[in-house]
Structure 1
Amino acid sequence: MEKMKDRLRELTTRGNKWSNSEREEKLRNYTKGWINYYRYADMKGLLEQTDEWLRHRIRAVYWKQWKKVRTRYRIFRALHLPEWKVHELANCRKGTWRAAGMLNAVLTKTIIVDRLGYPSMSTYYQKLRVNY
């Protein structure tokens, strides 16, 4: 498990020069291979926790990309948030990890998985799981 998390950390490092589509493709390939290898194991709960952590890291990557307050305003307004919420989130001066936690309301699971195309490990595992 720790080796998997270390590899996911490498793939979601905020400092690398990958595009979002390249990062998404590398994450998809790694998670599919990992789940295919361990599909006989009973790890539904573990994958759900890892999914939550991975989505938090993805939110942190996006927060880091939206460097300017003006960019954050534009993106949050496009997501049709109330003006007070746009102001609160765009002007956040907390650290990247804390701000990524606040993005839960904006970049939800459905947006990250369906629109942005990042893999959901638990969903893929449920489709592939072999029951005895």
Structure 2
Amino acid sequence: MKAKLKSLSTRRHVQSVIPALCKIREYMRGWLNYYGIAAMKHAVEELNGWLYHRIRMCIWKMWKRPRSKMKYLMKLGIPKYYAHMAANSRRGHWFTSATSTVNRALSKEILVRKGFYDLADAYQQMHVNY
């Protein structure tokens, strides 16, 4: 399943994240409807966290240049100093997308508003009736 999610959120063609989020939502909804009856709360939460990290990394890569990264971070409410530090970081995309600055800018609520399918919430709603 992770391999399929990696192919749906590929880093090569990161022009817009919205179509990738739609494909991921469709795939994850089907996966959850099939495997959701199993008791796997911890595994679903772990997978959900990994997927959030992956989407943040794709968005971070989509912004490309440090100037763009800084501009978008400041638009999302990050102070100029912290935006500058994160944007000019020479660590990789995966590492930088896990920093507190990027996590605050691209929070769970913002990603859900943009169309991210929160797997853990869907799993919880599915198991409320049991």
Q: Which runs of 5+ in 2 are unaligned?
A: none
1:75-101 superposed Cα distances (whole Å, 9 cap, x missing partner): 111112122111111111111111111
**Distance of 1:39 and 1:21 partners within structure 2:** 25
Q: What is the TM-score normalised by the length of structure 1?
A: 0.89
Q: What is the TM-score normalised by the length of structure 2?
A: 0.90
The answer for the alignment partner of 1:73 in structure 2 is 70
User: Moved runs in structure 1, 4+ residues, more than 6 A?
Assistant: none
Query: 1 or 2 for the larger relative contact order (CA 8 Å, sep ≥6)?
Result: 1
SS where residue 101 of structure 1 aligns? coil
Q: CA deviation at 1:18?
A: 6.1
Name the amino acid aligned to 2:104: A
Name the amino acid aligned to 1:117: G
Give the total of aligned pairs.
Answer: 127
Percent same amino acid among aligned pairs?
37
**Distance of 1:80 and 1:105 partners within structure 2:** 9
Name the amino acid aligned to 1:128: M
Q: Which runs of 5+ in 1 are unaligned?
A: none
2:124 paired with 1:121: no
Q: CA deviation at 1:42?
A: 0.5
